[in-house]
Structure 1
Amino acid sequence: MAQVLFLGGLGRSGTTLVERLLGELPGVCALGEVVHLWQRDLRDDERCGCGAQFSACVFWQQVGKTAFGGWSEVDVDRVHALRDAVERTRHIPRLAAGGAASAEVREYASFYARIYDAAAEVSGAQLIVDSSKHSALAHLLRAAGGINLRVVHVVRDARGVAYSWTKRVARPESDDGDEMTRYSPGRSALLWNAHNAAFGLLARRGVPVRRIRYEEFLADPRAGLIRLADFAGITLQPCDLDFLRPGHADLRVGHSAAGNPMRFTVGRLALRQDDAWMRSLPAAQRRLVGAVCGPMLRAYGYPLNPQEAR
């Protein structure tokens, strides 16, 4: 049974950075956003974080062979049908209510469990990191059992998240010039509330959940990684954090299946606070997001007046 650390939260909250830094620790294998593997990798053959097409990545081909006897043995249509049937935010209250998981939930979760087990075997890692983020998937993995699951709930100020969702970001793994999805501030505010609340519900159902604020993690990534390693049951030596330097991290090649373009970064990665939203997100939009997300912003310790966040 693989030990899995699931990184959850709304997109643009910093999970890719947390994943990349965790992936530098000994005994850790970071897989990126496995939830997108079925379409972006198996169907579209996009690039792995190592730069190779998925079909040419030795790591992922070994994982597929170990898990399924080869990726050609996976019925992707069936995976998509199961996803459409069970992995929906609206299903979370039912999933969280407890009781026996349905046959469809168990079948869908089994695809992930087999990938996690295979990745652990191929890499020799003690801990597998999946940064899929989706709250519904986290609930499905809990309901199905068979996975030693711990969840890191990554929270970022809703106004910073909203500003990030408005920006145009190219998807370098796509050969068609695609861009990442964009949301209006109002839409992202509603999603921020829903996804973060879902992870709070997961914690009340007995799953070990550690919430971190992205801004605090970035301010002291060394201390943040030590706390996360302890949460995941990983013992670190001081030298294990030598890749962290003042203001940056030195990253090796990774095998992220999908995610933010940062997954392709090799070498120096700057570690600095991104507070451009305080200057660039229009005041009316800041007020809108602050009003929609106010109760949860306060609960997470964020000031409602952006100037107090400096």
Structure 2
Amino acid sequence: MERLLGELPSVCSLGEIVHLWQRDIRDDERCGCGARFSACTFWKRVGEHAFGHWGNVDVERVHALRGTVERTRHIPRLAGAQLPPAQRADVREYASFYAKVYAAAAAVSGARVVVDSSKHSALAHVLRWADDVDLRVVHVVRDARGVAYSWTKTVARPESDGSAEMTRYSPGRSALLWNAHNAAFGLLARRGVPVRRIRYEQFLTDPRAALRELAEYAGVAVTEADLAFLGDGYADLRVGHSAAGNPMRFSIGRLPLRRDDAWVRALPRGQRRLVGAVCAPMLRAYGYPLNPAAVPQEA
């Protein structure tokens, strides 16, 4: 979804900025354009605009602040009406690193909207306290059993030249995380932050309509010509500059858009039942059937 939004006018997709500090500034992994972070012209300009140079960023300080304020266990306090002065100072300092990146990316790209596809719900709660960020959240929901199956798969991280793999979780842990993060985004909405929820399955049923809806939500006007990159079951993608995220961020050209329900057949029955039981209340709330047999098969 981040990649498709990035094809719209006045929108710049940045990838998962939560990982920028370690994977890009420190480890110099590859940008979505294929170049090393240090060699990517776009990110060079962003770093100069935001900090004078990426070398001026105190990564140790960012990591220390992250450990202090950006944890799931801190969400109840972050979601409160007020924060203690000391904690508020740390939260705002941490958020300021992100705000500088967003503002610089907007200035360099000329975009009115930047998309950070970081999936950490605690980070969204931190950004709520940033005075210089107009935060709007797109809450993408997928069937918990599909998410659990995805997290069990072994997937190489190509930006690390195949020497590392994407994080994996057991179905039980995936179920707990699915509950926690989705509930956290619901709480964010109750605290007055604009949150637009969209189901993965809904998005792939009609990507054109979904993108129109999300563009309107973001305050971006689009025309039929702006959506010409979308075809019948595919999208034509240009080179992007995602700093981190799913390996598909390196995809360029024609990308098939199809609903993936492989979990219905591939996730063992016992694991399906476990995840379904743990996530049952929220699955129902999001309109998912508890019986996998009722899930439509992909075409």
Q: Is TM (by shorter chain) over 0.5?
A: yes
1:11-37 Cα offsets, whole Å, 9 max, x none, are: xxxxxxx00000000110000000000
In the other structure, the counterpart of 2:137 is 151
Give the counterpart of 1:306 among 270, 281, 292: 292
1:130-165 Cα offsets, whole Å, 9 max, x none, are: 000110000000023221110000000000000000
What SS does structure 2 have at the residue aligned with 1:149? coil
What SS does structure 1 have at the residue aligned with 2:77? helix
Number of aligned positions between the proteins: 293
User: Does 1:222 find its partner at 2:195?
Assistant: no
The sequence identity of aligned pairs, in percent, is 76
Cα displacement (A) at 1:213: 0.2
Distance 1:243 1:186, change over 3 A: same
1:176-201 Cα offsets, whole Å, 9 max, x none, are: 52110110100000000000000000
In the other structure, the counterpart of 1:42 is 25
Q: Distance in 2 between matches of 1:219 and 1:176?
A: 33
Give the counterpart of 2:184 among 189, 192, 198: 198
Out of 286-295 and 91-100, give the one that drifted further. 91-100
Q: Is the 8 A contact 1:158 1:289 kept in 2?
A: yes
Q: Distance in 2 between matches of 1:252 and 1:188?
A: 32
In the other structure, the counterpart of 1:138 is 124
In the other structure, the counterpart of 2:161 is 175
Q: Is the 8 A contact 1:98 1:143 kept in 2?
A: no
Q: Distance in 2 between matches of 1:22 and 1:110?
A: 24
Give the counterpart of 1:123 among 109, 126, 148: 109
2:123 counterpart letter in structure 1? L
4+ residue segments displaced more than 2 Å: none
1:253-302 Cα offsets, whole Å, 9 max, x none, are: 00000000000000010100100000000011000000000000000000
Q: Distance in 2 between matches of 1:184 and 1:139?
A: 26
Give the counterpart of 2:267 among 275, 281, 302: 281
Give the counterpart of 1:189 among 175, 181, 191: 175
What SS does structure 1 have at the residue aligned with 2:68? helix
TM-score by length of 2: 0.97
1:96 counterpart letter in structure 2? A
Q: Distance in 2 between matches of 1:160 and 1:175?
A: 27
Give unmatched runs, 5+ long, in structure 2.
Answer: none
What SS does structure 2 have at the residue aligned with 1:102? helix
In the other structure, the counterpart of 2:9 is 26
User: Does 1:68 find its partner at 2:41?
Assistant: no
Q: Distance in 1 between matches of 2:246 and 2:154?
A: 12
Q: Is the 8 A contact 1:106 1:144 kept in 2?
A: yes
What SS does structure 2 have at the residue aligned with 1:288? helix
Q: Distance in 2 between matches of 1:295 and 1:269?
A: 34
User: Does 1:89 find its partner at 2:72?
Assistant: yes
Q: Distance in 1 between matches of 2:129 and 2:9?
A: 29
Q: Distance in 1 between matches of 2:170 and 2:82?
A: 37
Give the counterpart of 1:211 among 197, 205, 214: 197
CA root-mean-square deviation: 0.8
1:73 counterpart letter in structure 2? N
Cα displacement (A) at 1:175: 2.8
Give the counterpart of 1:108 among 88, 94, 118: 94
